[in-house]
Amino acid sequence: MALFTDILISFFLVISGVFGLVGSFGLVKLHGSMQRLHAPTKAAALGVGGVLIASMLYFLLVEGSFSFHELLITLFVFLTAPITASFIAKAFMVGNLRPEDLPETGGAYGWAVYDDPPAQDQHKDGGEK
């Protein structure tokens, strides 16, 4: 039983290590900021997730107590990672891209980085909604 526990915990640790490594390798291999941005979101998902599952299993099976901290870390990572990614991408858009480089929004307004939001009280000139 102890052996099985060890193997299970090690399995998740190895999984997380492999995905963390692949994510870091992606940072080196991928080309350009936008592609590189994909690598850390990967490491955050399965790389961190694997360590957290291993940690929970360790406390549950070896120490015999339940630990909530891993659930909280998961929650916080899932709350913060998309915001970071969006901010980096927007900063990249402002510095390196023009609106013509991007696909159409399909609506009356452009992307929020370049275009003002619809006015609350008065319509933009000709921008009839």
- Interface residue list for another protein (CB under 8 A): 19, 22, 25-26, 29-32, 34-35, 37-39, 41-42, 44-46, 49, 67-69, 71-72, 75, 78-79, 81-82, 85-86, 89-90, 93, 102-113, 115-118, 129
Q: How far is the CB of 32 from another protein (least distance, A)?
A: 8
Residue 8 or 34 with smaller CB distance to another protein: 34
Q: Note whether 12 and 57 are within 8 A (CB).
A: yes
Closer to another protein by Cβ: residue 6 or 119 = 119
CA distance 99 to 28: 28
| Contact by Cβ (8 Å): 47, 62 | no
Do residues 15 and 52 touch, judged by C-beta distance below 8 A?
no
AA letter at 72 = L
Pick the closer one to another protein by CB: 1 or 122. Answer: 122
In the complex with another protein, which residue's Cβ is closer, 1 or 63? 63
* Phi–psi pair at 61, nearest 5 degrees: -90, -35
In this structure, what token pair is assigned to residue 33? 């900021």
CB of residue 46 to another protein, shortest distance in Å: 4
